[in-house]
Amino acid sequence: MEGNRYGILKIDGTPDTVKREVRQDEENVPAFKKKEKKNTRLSCKKENPRRKKSSQEQEEEGSLETDCMNERFTRKERLRLRKDFLEIFKEGKSLQNEYFVVLFLKNGLDHSRLGIVVKRKFGKATRRNKLKRWVRETFRKNKDKIPKGFDIVVIPRKRLSEEFESINFRVVQKKLLSLLERIEE
């Protein structure tokens, strides 16, 4: 047996097993107490169950089935594979206005998928990412207005790049929606 500042070590008969003997004044107490986390994620209109609902909210709850999950931009709604993009570029139809080119192709699914292509020429990464966020948000919030069963690729045009700093989200949303609503077989 040998001792050190951590306690007394006992060596069993075999040389590779070492056990630590716990002193009487020591306890197995963690340094920090873990707080029990409740589910901190709030779901749509059920944020605070004790909050009094307005009459409008009560009517909407009764008449409309609004599931907050359908406003998500899920993985299945994204175009991710290169072959999917290439197929749309090769065989897809296109619509355009002064800010966007939208390519689309029937996908045989019960939902539409979105892909966004923004060239480096559009601007620095922050500008490109901001535009992509705006396009995704438009798609996410307006799924009911966009036809189902299409793969959609959105490409910004040069004019949008030039005017991007002076326009706001609402203008971009309006221009993009006008194209997305025109998608048809």
Q: What is the pLDDT of the chain when averaged over all its residues? A: 80
The whole domain housing 148 covers 75-180
How many domains is the chain built from? 1
Most confident of 4-13, 25-34, 73-82, 127-136: 127-136
pLDDT surpassing 80 at residue 165: yes
Name, in order, each residue with C-beta under 8 angstroms of 105's C-beta and a sequence gap of 6 or more: 87, 88, 91, 92, 93, 150, 151
Helix (H, G, I), strand (E, B) or coil at 104: strand
Residue 37: inside a domain: no
Residue 117: inside a domain: yes
Residue 95: inside a domain: yes
List the one residue out of 108, 110, 105, 107 whose CA is nearest residue 94: 105
Helix (H, G, I), strand (E, B) or coil at 182: coil
For the question of whether the overall pTM of this predicted structure is more than 0.85, the answer is no
Residue 125: inside a domain: yes
List the one residue out of 39, 44, 42, 41 whose CA is nearest residue 66: 44
Residue 22: inside a domain: no
Quote the tokens at residue 38. Answer: 């409740």
pLDDT surpassing 80 at residue 54: no
pLDDT > 70 in the chain, percent: 62
**pLDDT tens digits for range 1-44:** 555 555 555 555 555 555 555 555 666 666 666 666 666 555 55
Residue 112: inside a domain: yes
Residue 56: inside a domain: no
| pLDDT value, residue 65 | 44
Domain harbouring 83, CATH code: 3.30.230.10
pLDDT surpassing 60 at residue 154: yes
Confidence class for position 71, pLDDT limits 50, 70, 90: confident
| pLDDT value, residue 74 | 86
39: number of Cβ within 10 Å: 6
Question: What sections of the chain are H helices per DSSP?
Answer: 55-63, 82-91, 125-141, 158-163, 169-180
Name, in order, each residue with C-beta under 8 angstroms of 121's C-beta and a sequence gap of 6 or more: 161
Residue 150: inside a domain: yes
Q: Tell me the C-alpha distance between 133 and 148, whole Å.
A: 21
